[in-house]
Amino acid sequence: MITSYLSLSGVTTSPSLVEQALAELDAFLNSEQGTSNAVWSYLIPELGEGGSCSLFGQLQDAPFELESYINNNQENKVLLEKLNAIVQFVVDKTQVDWFGIYANTLTPEGEQLLKLAYHGAPSRPLFPLTEDFAKISNNVQVALSSKGRVVNDVAEYVAQGGEYYTCDPKVQSEACLPMFDNISGCTGIIDAEAFSTGIFDEQVLAVLVAACIRIPQYLPRS
């Protein structure tokens, strides 16, 4: 499972570190702390002209409602509680400043990445899964390619011509990794961001990979 994930995603880290992180995550999820409140609505930023960029610090009046895209029932409530617990575990273990879980979701506007749970500043809830949007978004690029992207210095990456979707200008490093279903198809992504460079070493990536391996079994049903 671990070796298969690393091969499919192209992420480089130690399988033994992932195994350890996965055991710690499972122990956490099975403990009293392993359930967090389900969050069904959250604040989101205004979008700029054309809807491509978030206007950082400018929030929409109305919150985003998850139940517009997934059923608000007991089964999904329990699954969202687990996803929010995984967010807590990852943030506690890695000290990243922002972390989010997104699932590939069919919407009236086409297939998009839907943000299910997160920690950090308000951010965009949906990313169109299109080749055009992939040109400016690591999230979409990873979802379409099924390959992880680790940027340990955003400024250097952009200076070299890399595509980058800026939500919070304080972000200096980012790791975006795919999640897979049982037939090795990409079913969503996780996104981790930090306000310092060089944070995504083997140890931190191992925790993120462990999350990617476990999250798919807790994705809500539409």
Reading the chain (222 residues) residue by residue, the pLDDT tens digits are 999 999 999 999 999 999 999 999 999 999 988 888 999 999 999 877 656 667 777 899 999 999 999 999 999 999 999 999 999 999 999 999 999 999 999 999 999 999 999 999 999 999 999 999 988 888 999 999 999 999 999 889 888 877 666 667 889 999 999 999 987 799 999 999 999 999 999 999 999 999 999 999 999 987
Contact 101, 23 (CB under 8 A): no
Q: Return the bridge partners of 214, or none.
A: none
Taken in order 65, 67, 73, 76, the sign of the CA dihedral is: negative
Alpha helices by DSSP H, listed for the chain, are: 2-9, 15-29, 74-94, 131-134, 138-145, 154-159, 202-214
Q: What does the pLDDT read at residue 47? A: 79
pLDDT at 158: 82
In the block, residue with structure tokens 């978030």: 54
Give the pTM: 0.95
